[in-house]
Amino acid sequence: MISDIIERYKKANGWTNEDLARLSGVPKPTIDKITSGATKNPNLETIRALAKAFGLTLDDFAEKTKPSIMDLPGILPVPKMVKKPLLGTIACGEPILAVENLDGYVDIPEDFHCDFVLRCQGDSMIGARIHDGDMVYIRLQPDVENHEIAAVIIDEESVTLKRVYRAGDHLVLMAENPSFPPIVVNGEHTARIIGKAVGFTSILS
């Protein structure tokens, strides 16, 4: 409200209504009615005179009297979105971003810097808050740091999302669910890291 704006600038300048009347040329009774809320919509000339007294242009003063949706509690700006490929079942031997693997495109926040999206299947990663149906954002890279979550191709047949650990010259792929045993890559299986998980969109959010 314009009364709140006037009170804020009065306080910032240490002014009374008498001071503002003297500096703006607006009669004090008029200012009293505005600041008390009795007059909610003063005329344009009054607003212009008050703005000038505060060292503001009419546009500046008017802008400050208009509430913005961004001033409301709980309102956040929507991030800029970009489209990234959503991968379906990965065909054996096909490059990860081959046309045969694409299952459409999804919008994700631009600042995640990922190359593609996988739709999570199953509940092996619920300990990391990744649930069945969630969209996981993957950045292409051939390796990850210890304990990071990665998309890994097992035996060149299927893609899994697991936390990666190293035990000597072996990889251990750990689920985030004690119901799932670790996958130890020690000759019985082959594993190829294709990217690091950099974010996700939960179906529960």
* Residue ranges of the chain assigned to CATH 2.10.109.10: 84-201
Q: Which residue has the higher pLDDT, 186 or 27?
A: 27
pLDDT at position 116 is: 92
pLDDT at position 111 is: 82
> Which pLDDT band holds residue 48 (cuts at 50, 70, 90)?
confident
> Which pLDDT band holds residue 64 (cuts at 50, 70, 90)?
low
Q: Is the domain defined by 2-68 classed in CATH 2.40.50.140? A: no
Instruction: Calculate what percentage of the chain has a pLDDT beyond 70.
Output: 84
Q: How, if at all, do strands 135-140 and 116-119 pair?
A: antiparallel
Report how far residue 40's alpha carbon sits from residue 3's, in angstroms, rounded to the nearest whole number.
8
Positions marked catalytic = 124, 162
pLDDT at position 68 is: 55
Over residues 55-74, mean pLDDT:
62
Give me the chain's average pLDDT, please: 83
Report how far residue 116's alpha carbon sits from residue 156's, in angstroms, rounded to the nearest whole number.
18
Q: Minimum mean pLDDT among 19-23, 70-74, 117-121: which range?
A: 70-74
Residue 58's CB: how many other CB atoms inside 10 A?
A: 14
Residue type, 92: C
Q: How, if at all, do strands 116-119 and 81-87 pair?
A: parallel
* Residue ranges of the chain assigned to CATH 1.10.260.40: 2-68
CATH classification for the domain delimited by 84-201, as one of 3.30.110.70, 3.40.50.10800, 2.10.109.10, 1.10.3720.10: 2.10.109.10
- Which of 1-5, 25-29, 87-91 ranks highest by mean pLDDT? 25-29
